[in-house]
Amino acid sequence: MKIIILLSLGILSAGIVFLANWIALIPWRRAKGKHWSERARLYHPVGVASASNMLTMPVVFALAGEVFWPDFSPHWLLIGALSGAGAFFGGLPLGREVFPRIGFRDLLRQSATIFFIAHMGRLGFLAAAALMPWQFDYRVVFISGAVALIWGCSALGGWRMIGQMTGLLQPAPERLQRIVSNVSTKTGIPYKQVWLLRISIANAFVVLETRTLFFTERMLELLSDNEIGAICAHELGHLLESFSDRCKRYIRVLVFLPWMYFKPIVNAYGYPGLYGLLGLSILVPFIYRHISRRLEKRADEIARANEQEEGTYACALLKLHEDILLPAVLKRNQASHPHLYDRLLAAGITPDFPRPAAARSMAWHGVLFALLLGMLISALAGQWIYGS
């Protein structure tokens, strides 16, 4: 019977995610033929909600079983795994519709690997939260140490092993190595390694802890050598951040880390402890985005100062945003980077399209499941508080 329930949850999760994404994407479909900035504005909240629900939905189902059917439902880990798998597969049609140039096999491989890498730390926090005791004792120290060890290994490159095993991560080709080496020499900013990510979405980033640069395969297809060099100068610019600035970046882990101690905190402090956790999760993203925007502006200045021709960096940013349908303007309190429109103006380029309205941060179905998650957490906390 429980096997049937688990399979049903997986199918139900896939159906809910697919249907919700399909309905939320209707305005984007109606905007066919309009400027890319308008289509990006309409797609962005749907994409954010879909990605969010891949994580929140399995937690919602697992908590619902604990709250409403504690003696009958399967183990929470199995519920989370099956409903999570369903949510993942239910979200794939969204990617196929919005980015039809990406084949299904590539989309499946990339999505699965990226999801695991992106959420590995959060999944670890959830597992630790479930294993935590009700009292602050030696077990809290032991579990915290294990999580810190796993997190440290991941930050220092453990996730790269996963990327290499799946073929997602490969040594940089000669063209990319030459570009990065030239830009590093010009800027005087050293790096250690450069890797190619076999992803069909144009992007680049740097891991500060290991001074390692990553560029996607799509970026090499989309941009010229000079444009890649300008993006490289931006990423190398982050390596000039002070130790203090790098430490400030870690504030983002406070969105999830305190929830690891949910059980002992609620047991010790009741609802005030729960509200403190919620308040921290709401406040921290605002602080982190403020820090991130300041550091991104400084990296932009370094990129513009080292571009081969004036406007090269701005042109590269424009191509990247259009390729991945990233809005030209986001709500200020939701943006970790300066708005593209403002970055173009700062580079002395007037865009050939009017400033669009700010994109919403998340579509309705993402907000719905976030609210359901909050309600179930509150209900579970109430059962523990009044049942203890």
Residue extents of the structural domains in the chain: 1-98+358-388
Q: Taking CA 144 as the corner, what is the angle to CA 88 and CA 127, rounded to the nearest 5 degrees?
A: 25
> Average of pLDDT values for 267-294?
87
- Whole-angstrom Cα distance, residue 153 to residue 169? 18
> Average of pLDDT values for 69-82?
72
Q: What is the largest CA-CA distance in the chain?
A: 68
Q: Grade residue 74 by pLDDT with cuts at 50, 70 and 90.
A: low
Predicted TM-score (pTM) of this structure? 0.87
pLDDT digits (tens, 9 = 90+) for 134-145: 888 888 888 888
> Average of pLDDT values for 140-162?
74
> Average of pLDDT values for 56-81?
76
- Whole-angstrom Cα distance, residue 348 to residue 140? 54
Could you list the beta-strand ranges (E) of the chain.
169-171, 193-197, 204-207, 212-216
pLDDT at residue 72 tops 70: no
> Average of pLDDT values for 272-294?
87
Range of weakest confidence among 16-30, 152-166, 260-274, 312-326: 152-166
- Whole-angstrom Cα distance, residue 176 to residue 120? 28
Range of weakest confidence among 41-55, 61-75, 199-213, 360-374: 61-75
pLDDT at residue 77 tops 80: no
